[in-house]
Chains A and B, each alone.
Chain A
Amino acid sequence: MITSSPLSNLTATSIALVKQMLMDDNIKLIGVFFYQDGVLNASASLSIPADEYQSVKQWQSIHCDYHLPLHLCITAAEKRGLSDDWQDTSNILPEFTVSGLGEFVSLYNSADQLIQL
């Protein structure tokens, strides 16, 4: 579960850890669930200067290269200005799956371990 904002200094570490897990044959990562300020990672409106850390590109490549499900709590997301249905458009990146906390429970039930980042 990722609860930290993409603007915190933690994001680069969190993403690097997710990648380490994906590349380790002994670890099977079944999904990432974004909650609290973590949902902002899914914003298509984030515009980060080219010389700064590109969290959006990192998540996109994680999803494309490893097909890792990236779930988003839509209630937490809508509170923070993200929506998949605002004036018929979405400002949520397509790599993220719009979900609810029920999906978190289902992931939790299927997993041996839960790590908060």
Chain B
Amino acid sequence: MLHLIRQSPYQQDISSELSTLISNDDDVLLIDDGVYFCQSLHFAIIQEKAKNILIVDEHLQARGITFEKADSLLPFAQIAEILVQSEKTLTWQL
């Protein structure tokens, strides 16, 4: 399953909910305000559990965030394909 995280780590009790729902087989895609996870202590929660973490490069840049792990960064243009290729998605938004 691919978790599509579109909200900031500090909206709702998302950190606890993520610990509940992300399994070791899951991937995470940080998109929209989800990219704020990259500059949050809560990033560790995702890192600990998810198999792969993908981050929308343009959405990081748009919010003025730099992130050293360049191999996780993806151009926005590839996202639709990634969504469709994953067998199912769980969207985190408010």
Chain B interface residue number, banded:
10 to 19
Known: A9-B33, A13-B31, A16-B76. A21 touches B93 (CB 8 A): no
CB distance from A1 to the nearest CB of B (A): 9
The reply to whether B81 and A24 form a contact with Cβ atoms under 8 Å apart is: yes
Q: A interface, how many residues as a size bin?
A: 10 to 19
Decide if A30 is an interface residue (CB 8 Å cutoff): no
Asked if A20 and B88 make an inter-chain contact with CB atoms under 8 angstroms apart, the answer reads no
The 8 A CB mask of B4-43 against A (1 = contact, 0 = none) is 0010000000000000000000000001110000000000
Query: A67-117: which have CB < 8 Å to B?
Result: 113-117
Asked if A26 is an interface residue, CB under 8 A from chain B, the answer is yes
Cβ A21 vs Cβ B84 within 8 A = yes
Chain A contacts to B: CB under 8 angstroms: 3-4, 8-10, 13, 16-17, 20-21, 24, 26-27, 113-117
